[in-house]
Amino acid sequence: MARISKRPMATMFSGALNAQEGETIAQLKEEIESLKSLSGQSFRLPIADIQPLQLPGRLKQPRLYFDPQKMERLKESIAKHGVLEPILVRPGARGKYEIISGERRWRSCCALEMDSIPAIVRDMPNAMALEAALIAHLLNEEITAIEQTESILSLLSLHLDIPIEDVKAGLYRVKNSRSRGAENSRIFSADELKLIAEILGEFGMKLASFVSNRLPMLNLAPEILEAVREGKLSPTNAVLLNRQKPELHGELVEQAAGLTKQDVMALVKDLEKEQLKNSSPVPDSISDQIFARFKSVRKKKSLLESAEAKKRLTKIDQLLQEIEQLSS
């Protein structure tokens, strides 16, 4: 059974943002949003002294994919207007600072060969830094469905204190258990289920839909996964397309871009009809053909009574015995 972290979720901003004991995720979200208005408390840090968040073991920072087009637009904006919102960093090893929120802005500044960037420095241990990074990432309006799913899983993993794969397996078991009307107390405790519902609820999700529509995305074919990351496909439509033959994925992704779920279902249905129309019937195996003929002959009792038929059936029996001996 998972172990719930005893640490209140908002202690990571204690002292800096007036965090209180027992704050909810909603309150924590509000505090992270308030960082946008703290420009007056920021100061400029050298670009060369900043690096992505460094975490040990299974702790994993949320942002792994940077959309090239969005990065280019951000770079153009920064070149014209500068960095309007400070990044959030923590002190790291050897005089470096690690990014908790704002890696896209930092990377854009690196590409523009800028010397410094406005930043707010907060001292946070690893677990707190990851929690802040995850929630800040989830609050990003441009976050993709894939990134959101991965970040929510990381947040659940952090608070349940179990590996992400165990979180996924547990969520699947809970959903399957509930669909059968069975108890799930052996999977997660009541407190753990309440925590899971709270975290999912803060981001507009429920356990059943998260398991059905979001988790399958993590097993998508690469071409379809890339389309979801780029915002071309919704999670539900991506799962529908992923069930089709791999050689059809590219064409389907192009056709399904921007379509509703109903439209994609119709598209897939038409494709299946076309495939069935153009496909050659698969011949039965030789064993199936022999069995079918034997069933047909058995119905002709008068024929089986003839001497010639019995003679040939005897030969067939001998051949079958020889086939049986092949496996011995």
Low-confidence winner among 47-51, 106-110, 213-217, 290-294 (lowest mean pLDDT): 290-294
| pLDDT more than 90, % of the chain | 19
Burial 150-165 (b: 16+ CB within 10 A, else e): bbbbbbbbbbbebebe
| pLDDT more than 70, % of the chain | 81
19 confidence band (pLDDT: 50, 70, 90): very low
What are 294's two structure tokens? Answer: 């034997």
21 confidence band (pLDDT: 50, 70, 90): very low
pLDDT value at residue 38: 65
Alpha-carbon span 99 to 38, nearest angstrom: 16
C-alpha distance from residue 227 to each of 213, 249, 296 (Å): 16, 10, 53
- Beta-ladder partners of 117: 45
166 confidence band (pLDDT: 50, 70, 90): very high
pLDDT value at residue 60: 63
**Model confidence over 25-59: pLDDT tens digits?**
666 667 667 766 666 677 899 999 999 988 876 66
pLDDT value at residue 186: 74
Range 62-78 average pLDDT:
81
C-alpha distance from residue 107 to each of 37, 50, 116, 132, 175 (Å): 22, 10, 12, 19, 40
113 confidence band (pLDDT: 50, 70, 90): very high
Question: Does residue 5 surpass a pLDDT of 70?
Answer: no
What are 96's two structure tokens? Answer: 């470096």
Residue for token pair 């959101």: 148
Q: Across the chain, which distance is largest between two alpha carbons, in Å?
A: 106
Sign, Cα dihedral of 206, 209, 210, 211: positive
- Structural domains in the chain, CATH included, are 9-202 (3.90.1530.10), 220-278 (no CATH)
pLDDT value at residue 177: 87
- Taking alpha carbons only, the member of 4, 102, 95, 13 closest to residue 52 is 102
Sheet strand arrangement including 97-101: 43-46, 116-121, 87-91, 97-101, 50-52
Q: Which amino acid is at 303?
A: L
pLDDT value at residue 59: 64
Alpha-carbon span 285 to 198, nearest angstrom: 55
pLDDT value at residue 235: 77
Q: Which amino acid is at 325?
A: Q
Alpha-carbon span 258 to 267, nearest angstrom: 13
77 confidence band (pLDDT: 50, 70, 90): very high
281 confidence band (pLDDT: 50, 70, 90): low
Range 70-85 average pLDDT:
91
- Taking alpha carbons only, the member of 95, 87, 91 closest to residue 118 is 87
Question: Does residue 259 surpass a pLDDT of 90?
Answer: no
**Model confidence over 188-197: pLDDT tens digits?**
888 999 999 9
Range 278-300 average pLDDT:
75
Question: Phi and psi for 100 in degrees, rounded to 5?
Answer: -95, -40
Alpha-carbon span 166 to 132, nearest angstrom: 22
pLDDT value at residue 90: 92
Question: Does residue 318 surpass a pLDDT of 70?
Answer: yes
pLDDT value at residue 105: 92
User: What DSSP line would sit under 2-28, residue for residue?
Assistant: -----S-GGGGGTTTS---TT--HHHH
Question: Does residue 120 surpass a pLDDT of 50?
Answer: yes
* Backbone dihedral region for residue 83 (phi beyond 0: left; psi -120 to 50: alpha; all else: beta): beta
Question: Does residue 11 surpass a pLDDT of 60?
Answer: no
pLDDT value at residue 144: 74
Better-predicted residue by pLDDT, 178 or 113 = 113
Q: Give the DSSP letter of residue 115.
A: S
Mean pLDDT over the full length of the chain? 80
- Taking alpha carbons only, the member of 236, 240, 261 closest to residue 249 is 240
pLDDT value at residue 12: 37
Alpha-carbon span 27 to 314, nearest angstrom: 85
Low-confidence winner among 16-20, 147-151, 234-238 (lowest mean pLDDT): 16-20
